[in-house]
Structure 1
């Protein structure tokens, strides 16, 4: 589970690579999932991206699992 931290811009989350709770930079990215040009504008999905500030491990999770 993510918790807020006293730092300026970050969340404390568990990092599987470090096996510790470390400071992470968390953002939301909109990604196009379709490889077809004519449908690409209809296939954009939000992803939660989390990057460990200690080791650089980056994970992403699709937020719209319908």
Structure 2
């Protein structure tokens, strides 16, 4: 299987779905973790979002797991 070359905004990573290293679009997104109306501004956490350019599988990983 031929692996496509990454664009400048892509990172080559192991894809759990494809089971090979493929180009991924990677971004950081702030996600609100609280469902409560009050203090939602304090419940946002950064997540690393990846999307495989080959199969479209998406993953998200919380960056501040303590």
TM-score by structure 1 length? 0.87
Q: Distance in 2 between matches of 1:60 and 1:40?
A: 20
The residue number in structure 1 matching 2:19 is: 19
Structure 1 runs of 4+ aligned residues shifted over 3 Å read: none
The residue number in structure 1 matching 2:45 is: 45
**Unmatched tracts of structure 1, length 5 or more:** none
The residue number in structure 1 matching 2:63 is: 63
The residue number in structure 2 matching 1:34 is: 34
Q: Quick check: which one's helix share is greater?
A: 1
Q: How many residues align?
A: 62
**Unmatched tracts of structure 2, length 5 or more:** none
- SS of match in other structure, 2:40: helix
TM-score by structure 2 length? 0.87
Q: Quick check: which one's strand share is greater?
A: 1
